Amino acid sequence: MNRKRLIREQLEASLEKFKPLRAVNTPKKGWIRAIRDGLGMTARQLANRLGIAQQAVARIEKDELTGSVTIKTMKRLAECLDCVFVYGFVPHSSLEDTIRKQAQVIATKRLTQASQTMLLENQMLSNEENKKVFEQMVDELLNTLPSYFWDET
């Protein structure tokens, strides 16, 4: 089996556990504020636990909402709130699907270019032959993942 494909399959198996998280929405006031409120902890109390000013907690909660809080800060806050900060990516479908779609984009583009040349030379392929060539191109791209693979959009 192709080494890249094996690595992708192992990663895919790990990512499978995170699929249910796609449905989780961030609380309106952010995770920090939601957990703090859920614990009945004031901003002053959290600030004391962190060893920072109360205003800094308000700024951090605001930064979370704007997306400018750092991962390091989120980890530190999670510890103070007796939580584990989880960070990751959850693919919309699967890595394999994403790669296949890109291979199809490349194959379509190449086949279109080749078809135009063949049309000029009066050597067009039938629909059946086109489909077969397309699938072969996609399979070859999937098996090799050439260095230019993600250069084309």
pLDDT digits (tens, 9 = 90+) for 22-67: 899 999 999 999 999 999 999 999 999 999 999 999 999 999 999 9
pTM: 0.76
Contact by Cβ (8 Å): 116, 125: no
At 123, the pLDDT band (50, 70, 90 cuts) reads low
Rounded CA separation 145/148 (Å): 8
Q: DSSP letters of 97-151?
A: HHHHHHHHHHHHHHHHHHHHHHHHTT-PPPHHHHHHHHHHHHHHHHHH--TTTTT
At 127, the pLDDT band (50, 70, 90 cuts) reads confident
> Hey, what domains does the chain have and what are their CATH numbers?
19-80 (1.10.260), 95-144 (no CATH)
Residue 41: per-residue pLDDT: 98
